[in-house]
Structure 1
Amino acid sequence: MTRSTRAVRWHGAGDVRLETVELSPPGPGEVLVAVAWCGVCGSDLHEVADGPHGIPVERPHPLSGAVAPVTLGHEFAGTVAAVGPDVDGVQVGGRVAVEPNYRCGRCTACREGRYEVCDGFGFAGLMGDGGLAEYALVPAYMVRPLPTGFDLAAAAVLEPAAVALHGIRRSTFAAGRAALVVGLGPVGLLVCALLREAGAAVVVGVDPVPARRDLATRLGATAALAPDEDVAATVRALTGGDGAHVAFEVVGAQATLDAALGSLRSGGELLLLGLVDRLTLPAFDMVNAELRLTTSVGYRDCHDELIELVSDGRLDLCALVTDVVALEDAPAALLRMAAGGSTGVKTLVRCGEETP
């Protein structure tokens, strides 16, 4: 039998609606999740403000088969309501997080284990129906079982934490080194926290919002600066005059890239996490200083490590949650945030009640 669920659906830029949709029972390799919490991501807000960017509107996505309207939300967690045939390791009633990226399992990237850049790249909640709903139907490979009693609000923040952890793994960072993080949204803040957990000697954050700078220091940053301060001078003062080993650019803008590059030591590395169409690089200076340029998108195989860090009390994901809204209020909240931005960090939508 089908199941009715309320869901926040994207119909077009500026057109987000709370609707009732019918979900089929889970088929082979599918899991039905009763969603407890779903986070709001900047990607959602870009789609609401002036999309479509990633949402398929003319041709169905090759892996999800979806075309707009779609249910938003790719940062979600809940409990298993039902499982389809051929699903192992997932129990009805168990708490789960969702790793929402689609993968085909057949392309070269997937065969190499790099499913974050699958030829059918996409996320449930953008390229297919996601978790901003009471119930979500997802492929079983997206489901990550959680320990008994794991906080589902924290579990909804595992997705941006995975973006941060994958970026650090992609970089040359090692314990004892110095790092700069430019942009202290959720991912940038989580980069700061994970760098400190990994043994960074110095972590400097940069952001224009004072509350985000304060949170960065509470999460372990050595210092947090406004963009109009002398970032390079501060980094060098904290590193004996050398500069940062790695700079994480988490904004996607020319000015922040320039600030990141200007704070690197000779032989340092710029890691791009921010999304932007084009940037200009000072190639002559980079070559002469033998600077590395590395990029990172999405994540792979990060959730188990993050779940362990949270369970052990070494990573506080709930510290990022600054706003909570009810599912019925989510369309208005999304439109408001997309129009005027937000100085908060992470907004969570309560989609349903947590079960014991």
Structure 2
Amino acid sequence: MKALAVLENEKLGVIDLEKPENTTGDDVLVKVVYSGLCGSDFPRMFEHQAKFFPVVLGHEFSGVVEKVGEKVHKLAVGDKVSCIPLKPCFKCEACDEGNYSLCKNYGFIGSRENGGMEEYVKIPEINLQKLPEKFDLLQGAFFEPITVVLHGLGLLNKEVKGKKVGIIGVGTMGLLAVQCAKAYGAELVSAFDINEKNLEAAKELGADEVHNVAKKDIENEYDKYDIMIETSGANPSFVLILKLAAGKGELLYIGTPHSTLTFEYKDFELINRKELTIKGSWMNYSKPFPGKEWTEAIRLFDEGLVKIDKLIGATVSMEEFCERLEEIKGRTLGGKIMVKVGESE
């Protein structure tokens, strides 16, 4: 079978691997159809952070069940599925408490073991979310990122309904957050970014206001938002979010920084002066595994409350991915890169 693999840092290729055949126990063989490229994959491809070589990335993928082991009871051949990539140990204190994202002894499909950018993947039944038959498999490839947003929202003390919500960074995560905030009844949803195309997409997907922080004076937006959500991971956003939040506001950090952060004392002091509550969010799971985030994603898609067409920058084959590697590295394509791995029928 074909697989798109990171062969060494900054070098990718399409290689041949042996197709998994011995599907026993709770294992499920999935024929992969779509696999999305996550921002977390970039360091693995370009910043020497791959766990091993060659590694097949892809933890945001969907496909169709081809074979099941004798202990598989909830899935059948032909079912549409989405990958649940975390493999908690289920033995530690964090797992016992349902904090699977905090497990220290975890495995992860698409980084610590090969993922969905290959034609077939054999994984345990517990790591698959069954999709309604009517769902498009493209939707299935967005389950992992939307559940990241839903997990973060679930950590908030405040309900989104009736609140003013600001979202900094409207790439894939931010655009999903915009739609979720609207679905949950926010009074106002404002999107902040430096990319006009992203802001246009946010407006089309329901944002009430959009603000280009590179071009527009946004001081009149300061002290306005009950809830601020940071999804970009860009260093300036970690400061700006403090200024935009209203007194007693709640801040949710989903994006992660990639270089040292420095705060002026007057900016950091806003945490005290505004009596802000700051929450960090990591991954997308709750008890019982994988959690309510995953069933809620089904509802949002089923009711048409979340759209994905504006989130996709390009859909490419494995070979085209390699040919366009420089564009992908430079992030010039815009939007989520989807790899079409196989056909659904």
Q: Does the TM-score normalized on the shorter chain lie above 0.5?
A: yes
Q: Which moved more, 1:242-251 or 1:271-280?
A: 271-280
Alpha-carbon shift at residue 330 of structure 1 (Å): 2.1
1:242-281 equivalences in 2 (<5 Å) = 242-276=223-257, 278-281=260-263
Alpha-carbon shift at residue 123 of structure 1 (Å): 2.7
Measure the CA separation in 1 of the matches of 2:309 and 2:86: 23
Measure the CA separation in 2 of the matches of 1:354 and 1:347: 19
**Matched AA of 1:276:** P
Match in the other structure for 2:309: 318
Q: Is the 8 A contact 2:313 2:333 kept in 1?
A: no
Match in the other structure for 1:61: none
Partner residue of 1:299 out of 284, 289, 297: 284
**1:184 and 2:180 correspond:** no
Q: Is the 8 A contact 1:14 1:335 kept in 2?
A: no
Q: Is the 8 A contact 1:9 1:70 kept in 2?
A: yes
Alpha-carbon shift at residue 315 of structure 1 (Å): 1.5
Alpha-carbon shift at residue 122 of structure 1 (Å): 4.6
Local SS of the residue matching 1:329: helix
**1:10 and 2:1 correspond:** no
Match in the other structure for 1:125: 110
Q: How many residues get paired?
A: 332
Measure the CA separation in 2 of the matches of 1:333 and 1:172: 43
Local SS of the residue matching 1:193: helix
Measure the CA separation in 2 of the matches of 1:287 and 1:264: 12
Alpha-carbon shift at residue 232 of structure 1 (Å): 4.0
Partner residue of 1:112 out of 81, 97, 113: 97
**1:70 and 2:18 correspond:** no
TM-score, normalisation: structure 2:
0.91
Alpha-carbon shift at residue 230 of structure 1 (Å): 2.6
Q: Is the 8 A contact 1:185 1:345 kept in 2?
A: yes
**1:284 and 2:266 correspond:** no
Alpha-carbon shift at residue 254 of structure 1 (Å): 2.7
Measure the CA separation in 1 of the matches of 2:63 and 2:28: 12
Partner residue of 1:230 out of 217, 225, 244: 217
1:2-41 equivalences in 2 (<5 Å) = 5-24=1-20, 25-41=22-38
Match in the other structure for 1:49: 46
Local SS of the residue matching 1:42: coil
Unmatched segments (≥5 aa) in structure 1: 58-67, 237-241
Measure the CA separation in 2 of the matches of 1:170 and 1:99: 20
Match in the other structure for 2:288: none
Alpha-carbon shift at residue 51 of structure 1 (Å): 2.3
Local SS of the residue matching 2:17: strand
Measure the CA separation in 1 of the matches of 2:4 and 2:107: 19
Q: Is the 8 A contact 1:49 1:335 kept in 2?
A: no
Unmatched segments (≥5 aa) in structure 2: 286-290
Alpha-carbon shift at residue 30 of structure 1 (Å): 1.6
Q: Which moved more, 1:199-208 or 1:112-121?
A: 112-121
Measure the CA separation in 2 of the matches of 1:111 and 1:304: 21
Match in the other structure for 2:180: 194
Alpha-carbon shift at residue 224 of structure 1 (Å): 1.2
1:208-223 equivalences in 2 (<5 Å) = 208-223=194-209
**Matched AA of 2:51:** P
Local SS of the residue matching 1:322: strand
Alpha-carbon shift at residue 249 of structure 1 (Å): 1.2
TM-score, normalisation: structure 1:
0.88
Alpha-carbon shift at residue 250 of structure 1 (Å): 1.2
Measure the CA separation in 2 of the matches of 1:332 and 1:112: 45
Local SS of the residue matching 2:227: strand
Match in the other structure for 1:353: 343
Measure the CA separation in 2 of the matches of 1:272 and 1:100: 21
Match in the other structure for 1:331: 322
Measure the CA separation in 1 of the matches of 2:45 and 2:326: 7
> What does the per-residue CA deviation read over 1:204-262, in whole Å, with 9 as the maximum and x for residues that have no partner?
111111111011011111111111223341x35xxxxx510111111223311111110
Local SS of the residue matching 1:38: strand
Measure the CA separation in 1 of the matches of 2:132 and 2:206: 26
Q: Is the 8 A contact 1:273 1:297 kept in 2?
A: yes
**Matched AA of 2:7:** H
**Matched AA of 1:118:** C
Measure the CA separation in 2 of the matches of 1:136 and 1:333: 25
> What does the per-residue CA deviation read over 1:30-66, in whole Å, with 9 as the maximum and x for residues that have no partner?
21110111111111222212121xx323xxxxxxxxx
Measure the CA separation in 2 of the matches of 1:138 and 1:74: 12
CA RMSD in angstroms comes to 1.7
> What does the per-residue CA deviation read over 1:169-198, in whole Å, with 9 as the maximum and x for residues that have no partner?
122342000111111110011011100100
